[in-house]
Amino acid sequence: MCQIALTILILLSNLGIPVIPIGYCSLLTVMNVSAYDDSSGEYPYIGLTASGEKTHHGIVAAGPGIPFGTEVFILGYGKGIVLDRGSAITDSHMDIWMSSNDLAWQWGRRILPVILQWEVDDTLCCKRVSRVPIPPW
């Protein structure tokens, strides 16, 4: 599985899409990607992620099967890092933080290619990859 992802990343690099550095394990998948902002938070947690980090561009909420610190590349959005969770977020769904409610609504909900990456050995990579659902198509 990890070797297949590496092959896909090499092909993507030939198309000008950012490549994941050597020493990283990666997975290319398709996920449901929606957006959120701080307006739905509750005091005193407004502006804070589940990991304790302050919200800012690049913060991504993901399901519990995708560990905090996982780096992602979302087509149409760019790079991000998983540092948040959400009650409606599953392992096949990501939520990207936006600076305003208007921007979050404009983003909406999209089905997009997502690259997940971890700086780990190949054995651990494949254990993590097995927890991320792969769409049937």
Q: Which candidate, 15, 99, 22, 11, places its Cα nearest to that of 56?
A: 99
pTM summary value: 0.72
What is the pLDDT averaged over residues 108-126? Answer: 74
* Structure confidence by residue, pLDDT tens digits, 28-50: 788 999 999 887 766 556 788 98
Q: Which two tokens stand for residue 93?
A: 């769904």
What is the pLDDT averaged over residues 62-88? Answer: 90
Rounded to the nearest integer, the mean pLDDT of the chain is 77
| d(C-alpha 94, C-alpha 110), whole Å | 10
Domain ranges for the chain: 2-129
User: Strand pairing partners for 81?
Assistant: 59, 71
Residue-level pLDDT at 18? 53
* Structure confidence by residue, pLDDT tens digits, 50-63: 898 999 999 999 99
Residue-level pLDDT at 135? 47
What CATH number does the domain located at 2-129 have? 2.40.40.10
**ω into 44 cis (within 30 of 0):** yes
